[in-house]
Amino acid sequence: MSRRPHRYRRSLSRTSLAALLVGLLGLASGGAYAALSTFTPSGPASPRITAAPPKLTNQAHGAFGYTSDTAVDFLCSIDAGAFTPCGSGTTGSIAYAGPLAQGEHTFRVEAQFGAAIGKPAAKTWTVDTQAPPPPVFTQRPPDSTSLTKASLRFGDAERKTKLQCELDGGAYAKCGRSKSYKGLATGVHAFCVRALDNAGNASAPGCSSWVVTPASVTFSVSGDSPAGALLYPGAASVPLNLVFTNPHPAPITVTGVTVMVTGTSAGGCGAVNFSVSQQLQATPTIPARATTSLQSLGVAQSQWPQLRMLDAGNQDACRNASVNLAYAGSATG
């Protein structure tokens, strides 16, 4: 009977003896440390890291969470820093406000039970807050065009970036290396594209702007001087009240009119005896399918074309002559 306890003592390993002692301590203290499986001969088991930054991030700070199966004291370290207390119990957390430097960082957490410290758990990640360069255009619309469609091509200078596009101040949305639009309204348009790297950094936008001008439309124009207006050498210029006819089902805007003297009704009196001292200075809008004049549109006479007779040479041949005029103009609509 005396041999059996002796054989039992010889069969106990160091691990079993350590577990037995811890178990006895746990029983003596009310069972607070009854989970024997989380301890090894070298100390408590490594904690588990439950929260950490992604492997690549543009945030220059970091927050971590960790847990242990049994109550321990946690010790934390970042990079080459010393381990310092960072909580007690079965869970803990810590945040590093930074700003952390660009590049790779490593967080470590270990568990301490009494004087024993287990192996640390580690998490490594990379901080990248540097934005990529803006994309460069390889194709864009002309500065001014009457086309209501546009095609743009662009590329990024940094590899493995994603592109986002927007038009006329809209929200950025994912796009490829080209973008096309149709049915654009007349006026100024602005297109911007930016690059996003894998860390989520956005480049400064690369932008291109252009103007969609209305297409030219046809119309007719004629004109006459106000009743009672006379032309004679040295007299003031006579304003010409232009009359426009718009045959289209939508309004048009007259962008310019050129008035030319082509001759007169009298022999010996020609175009050289007269001068158009001012062309049309206004850009009137003509209603749809309407015929109207500058006077009816309320355009000031100071903006009408001005015709005068030159005060040079013998003008007797021009007495009582009628002046023949020709008109050319442009309009959009």
Q: Are residues 144 and 166 in the same domain?
A: yes
Q: Are residues 47 and 28 in the same domain?
A: no
Task: Please tell me the distance from the alpha carbon of residue 52 to that of residue 65, in angstroms, as a whole number.
Answer: 7
Residue 192 has pLDDT above 80, yes or no: yes
Q: Are residues 15 and 44 in the same domain?
A: no
What is the structure's pLDDT at 41? Answer: 57
Q: Are residues 88 and 70 in the same domain?
A: yes
Task: Please tell me the distance from the alpha carbon of residue 30 to that of residue 26, in angstroms, as a whole number.
Answer: 6
Q: Are residues 245 and 202 in the same domain?
A: no
- Higher pLDDT, residue 104 or 267: 104
Q: Are residues 95 and 117 in the same domain?
A: yes
Task: Please tell me the distance from the alpha carbon of residue 207 to that of residue 162, in angstroms, as a whole number.
Answer: 16
* Cα angle 263, 268, 272; round to 5: 45
Domain boundary among 127, 152, 170: 127
The string of pLDDT tens digits covering residues 285-305 is 999 999 999 999 999 999 999
Domain boundary among 103, 127, 151: 127
The residue assigned the tokens 């480049």 is 203
- Higher pLDDT, residue 207 or 32: 207
- Higher pLDDT, residue 16 or 215: 215
Average pLDDT over residues 218-235: 83
Q: Are residues 234 and 313 in the same domain?
A: yes
What is the structure's pLDDT at 175? Answer: 94
Output phi, psi for 304, to 5 deg: -75, 160
Range of the domain at 19: 1-34
Residue 333 has pLDDT above 80, yes or no: no
What is the structure's pLDDT at 111? Answer: 96
Number of domain units in the chain: 4
Residue 98 has pLDDT above 90, yes or no: no
Contacts of 161 (CB under 8 A, 6+ apart): 132, 195, 196, 197, 198, 203
Report cis status (omega within 30 of 0) of the bond before 135: no
Task: Please tell me the distance from the alpha carbon of residue 42 to that of residue 196, in angstroms, as a whole number.
Answer: 47
- Higher pLDDT, residue 1 or 209: 209
- Report the CATH number at residue 232: 2.60.40
Q: What are the Cα distances from residue 258, in Å, to 36, 215, 224, 240, 299?
A: 102, 19, 14, 12, 17
Average pLDDT over residues 182-201: 93
Task: Please tell me the distance from the alpha carbon of residue 231 to that of residue 266, in angstroms, as a whole number.
Answer: 14
Helix ranges restricted to H, the chain: 3-11, 14-28
Q: Are residues 29 and 45 in the same domain?
A: no
Domain boundary among 101, 127, 153: 127
Residue 206 has pLDDT above 80, yes or no: yes
Threshold 0.75, pTM exceeds: no
Residue 14 has pLDDT above 80, yes or no: no
Q: Which residues pair with 314 in a beta bridge?
A: none
What is the structure's pLDDT at 22? Answer: 39
The string of pLDDT tens digits covering residues 137-170 is 999 999 888 889 999 999 887 777 899 999 999 9
What is the structure's pLDDT at 250? Answer: 82
Residue 293 · residue 242 · CB < 8 Å:
yes
Residue 9 has pLDDT above 50, yes or no: no
Sheet holding 285-286, edge to edge: 285-286, 252-264, 323-332
Q: What are the Cα distances from residue 128, in Å, to 1, 65, 118, 241?
A: 72, 22, 32, 70
Average pLDDT over residues 238-262: 92
